[in-house]
Structure 1
Amino acid sequence: MQTRTASCSCEQLSIEVNNPPLGAGICHCFACQRRTGSVFAALAAFAPPYKATGTATEYLRIGDRGSRYLFRFCPVCGTSLFHTEEGAEAMYVAVAVGCFADPDFPPPEDSVYDCRRHSWVVLPEGTKAYDKNPD
Structure 2
Amino acid sequence: MTTTAVLTGACGCGAVTFELSEPLGDAMYCHCTRCQRRSGGSTGAAAWAQPGSFRITSGEQELRRWAPPGGMVKVFCGICGSGLWAEMADDPAKVAIRLGAVDGDPGVRPSARIFAADAAPWEPIPDDGLPRYDGFPG
User: Shorter-chain TM-score: which interval?
Assistant: 0.7 to 0.9
Separation in structure 2 between the aligned mates of residue 4 and residue 77 of structure 1, nearest angstrom: 22
Q: How many residues align?
A: 129
**TM superposition score normalised by structure 1:** 0.83
1:1-135 to 2 correspondences below 5 Å: 3-47=6-50, 48-52=52-56, 53-54=58-59, 55-63=62-70, 68-90=71-93, 92-103=94-105, 105-118=107-120, 119-122=123-126, 124-125=128-129, 127-135=130-138
**TM superposition score normalised by structure 2:** 0.81
Q: Which amino acid aligns with 2:44?
A: A
Stretches of structure 1 lacking an aligned partner (at least 5 in a row): none
Stretches of structure 2 lacking an aligned partner (at least 5 in a row): none
List 4+ stretches of structure 1 deviating above 3 A. 118-121
Q: CA RMSD in A?
A: 2.0
The alignment-based identity, stated in percent, is: 24
